[in-house]
Structure 1
Amino acid sequence: MDSRWATTELAWTTFPESGWEEVSGYDDYMSPIRTYQVCNVRQPNQNNWLRTDFIPRRGVLRVYVELKFSVRDCASIPNIPGSCKETFNLFYYESEGDTATDSSPQWRENPYVKVDTIAPDESFSLLEAGRINTKVRSFGPLSKAGFYLAFQDLGACMSLISVRVFFKKCSTTIANFAVFPETATGAEATSLVIAPGACVTNAMEVSVPLKLYCNGDGEWMVPVGSCTCVAGFEPSTDGIQCQVLRLQRGAISRADFPTSAFVGN
C-alpha cells in the first residue's frame, strides 16, 4: 500500500468525526495527494483515531511502514493548554478478513498492538513552511490474513502526508552454480531465513545441502553447498551457467558443414 498514488479519496475510518480530516495536498513535485490532518490543540483530552483499509499480508512475516508527516511546534501556538503534543502513536490490528467497522475493533489501545510513539525530527512554526519528516517502523511476526494500521492523536497539530507499507526480500540469485528463489525476510529484523537451492542446467551437486541465508535487510549471506558443471560443459564467463565446452562447440560447428567446405582452409 502506498497512499501517495491514491487518485480518489482514501476514506479511511476516523473516530470521532471531529478528529482527523482528509484533505487534498501536494507532494514535493507538486503532484496532488490525499493527506490527513488534525489540530484540536485548544481542546484538552484529545483521543483521535485514524484507521486504514484492510491490508493483505500476502504471506510475509514482517512489514515496514514509511510515514511522511509534519508537526506544528506547540510553542508557536498562542493560548493553548499544556496538553498540546508533538507526537502521535502508531498501532496495527491483525484480522483474518476485512471485518472492521466504525465501532469494531474498539477505539482503544487494546485490541490494537502499539508499534511506537512517533516524534518528528523537526517541527514548524506558523511562519515556516511545513517541514516533512520521514520515519520507518517495522513489526511482526504476522500470522493472519492481513492487518489494519491505526494512528492515534492525543492533541497534536499535524498532517499525515503519506503512508507506505512494504516488505523486504532477497531477490532470486545464482551462487556456486545453484539457483536460489526470491525469499521474503523473517519475522524479526535479525532473522535468517533458509532458502533451498537447485543446480543450474547442466550442473550437478558436489556438496550438500544447497542453501543460502536471507538476512533481515534483504541481503543474501554466504552460500552452503555447491554445484559443478557436468562432463562436456564448462562455466560461462559470467560464472552463472554451464555451457558446452569450447573445443566441443568448435567440433559441432564444423560438423554442420560438408568436408568439402573446409578444403583449402
Structure 2
Amino acid sequence: MTASKESFNLYFYEAESDIAVDVIPSWDATTYDLIDIITADHSEGYQNEENKLNITKRDIPLPKELRGVYLAFQDTGTCVSLMSLKVYYTVCPNITMDYAFFLETPVGSSPQALEKREGVCVANS
C-alpha cells in the first residue's frame, strides 16, 4: 500500500511487560504494527478560509492484559499536519448486582463483546 502526498502512517506497539514502561521500543517496521494510512479527506470535517480540518476515528482492539501501548505517526513528506489527538478506552463501571460486586472492567475487542469477570459477595449476603 502506498501513501499519497496528503497522508501519514499510524502505527502502534503493544507493551507486554513492565520493561516497556522504562524502555522505549526501537522504531522499525517489525516492532510497530501499521494500523492505517490516514489520508486528507476534505469531504468531512471543519473548514474555514485558511484551514481544512478532518476528524478521523480509528478503533484498535487490544488484549485484556495489556500493560500499555505506544502510538507512532510517520510523516512521509506530507502536506498535512496532526493538530490534536484523543486516546481513550471504554469501561464498564463498578456494579453491584444480585448480591455480588464487580469491579470496573475495560470492554473487550468491541463494546458489545462479553467479558467474563469474577465478582465478590456483598457484605451480609
1:99 to 13, 20, 23: 23
SS at match of 1:193: coil
1:121 Cα deviation after fit = 4.0
- CA RMSD between the two structures: 3.2
Which has the higher Rg, Structure 1 or Structure 2?
1
Q: For 1:6-85, list aligned pairs within 5 A.
A: 85=5
Higher relative contact order (CA 8 A, sep 6+): 2
> Which residue in 1 is equivalent to 2:94?
172
TM-score by length of structure 1 reads 0.36
Alignment pair present for 1:193 and 2:115: yes
Q: How far is the alpha carbon of 1:150 from its aligned partner?
A: 0.8
Distance 1:157 1:88 in 2: 9
AA in 1 matched with 2:29: E
Unmatched tracts of structure 1, length 5 or more:
1-82, 204-265
Q: Of 132, 138, 155, which residue of structure 1 is paired with 2:77?
A: 155
AA matched with 2:23? T
Correspondence for 1:118: 38
Distance in 2 (alpha carbons) for counterparts of 1:169 and 1:125: 33
Instruction: Name the SS of the counterpart of 2:77 in structure 1.
Output: coil
Identity %: 35
TM-score, normalised with respect to structure 2: 0.67
Higher helix residue share = 1
Distance 1:178 1:121 in 2: 49
Q: CA deviation at 1:178?
A: 2.5
1:211-254 C-alpha deviation (Å, 9 max, x unpaired): xxxxxxxxxxxxxxxxxxxxxxxxxxxxxxxxxxxxxxxxxxxx
Give, in angstroms, the shift of residue 144 of structure 1.
Answer: 6.1
Q: Which has the higher strand share?
A: 1
Q: Is the 8 A contact 1:115 1:137 kept in 2?
A: no
Structure 1's 173 and 91: CA in aligned 2 closer, same or farther, altered over 3 A?
A: same
Secondary structure of the structure 1 residue equivalent to 2:34 = strand
CA offset at residue 172 of structure 1? Answer: 0.6
Amino acid aligned to 1:112: Y
